A = this chain, B = another copy of it.
Amino acid sequence: MRISDLSRAADVPVATIKYYLREGLLPAGRHLSRTQSDYDGTHVERLRLIRALAEVGGLGIARIGRILEAIDTPTTDRLAVLEAAQRALTVPPDEETAAGDADVAADAPGPSRALAWVQERGWSVDPADPVLTDLDRAWDACDAGELGIDARRLDAYADGIELIARADVSSVPDDPSRAVRQVVLGTVLMDPVLSALRRLAQQHMAVTGQVLAAQSPLGGDVTSR
């Protein structure tokens, strides 16, 4: 199909498609003439994926590029799959500082609370893993919002997260060419699903009388108002 048909099929403007082609996010079409190329279903699929990452995942071009690169590089080694996913998902320092003038964590140096908590929890995690820095930053941000997150609170969340990670794990296909894709996209695209589920579950508990009754034991009062 021509680029105008591709634009209609994927619902992405021609100018945006040309931008993605220049940035290498979308493979070139089959050359037809000096000014025309032929595109197929794989281009439609790739464009839909880029849109999902940009719009729902909220990612910029550079991160989308790294994610697509990881997806396009199949590997058979199980730790290599996770390392490829980590590389694709971690924000390098230069991209990070573009978002603001200073790091939220900058005024809270010292040992990593995240690492101490993970070790206490008994999770096997590389102490140099950049996700620990993400967790420290997110924890600091909760402090700035005076949410009072402590190790006990994190443990309560971790009980739920372990169930979720098990569901993630059981969905990773044996086919190595699809494993990296599944792990990387599963991390980026599922977070908004989990965020929406969390808000709906909170509402359910409010309506059934379980929210804002902080002092009463949960599940006791199930009368709606």
Most B C-beta atoms less than 10 A away, residue of A125, A138, A140, A172: A138
Decide if A192 touches B13 in the complex (CB within 8 Å): no
Q: Which B residues lie within 8 Å of A182 (CB)?
A: 147
Residue interface mask A48-68, B partner, CB < 8 A = 1: 110111111110000000000
Q: List residues 179-225 of chain A with CB under 8 A from any CB of chain B.
A: 179, 181-183, 185-187, 189-208, 210-212, 214-215, 218, 224-225
Decide if A144 touches B51 in the complex (CB within 8 Å): yes
Q: Which B residues lie within 8 Å of A126 (CB)?
A: 203
Q: Which B residues lie within 8 Å of A58 (CB)?
A: 58, 99
Q: Which B residues lie within 8 Å of A16 (CB)?
A: 101
Q: Which B residues lie within 8 Å of A205 (CB)?
A: 165-166, 169
Decide if B157 touches A104 in the complex (CB within 8 Å): no
Interface residues on A, range: 35 or more
Residue interface mask A73-88, B partner, CB < 8 A = 1: 0000011011000100
Residue interface mask A146-178, B partner, CB < 8 A = 1: 111100011011111111111111111110000
Decide if A192 touches B147 in the complex (CB within 8 Å): no
Q: Quick check: is A95 within 8 A (CB to CB) of the other chain?
A: no
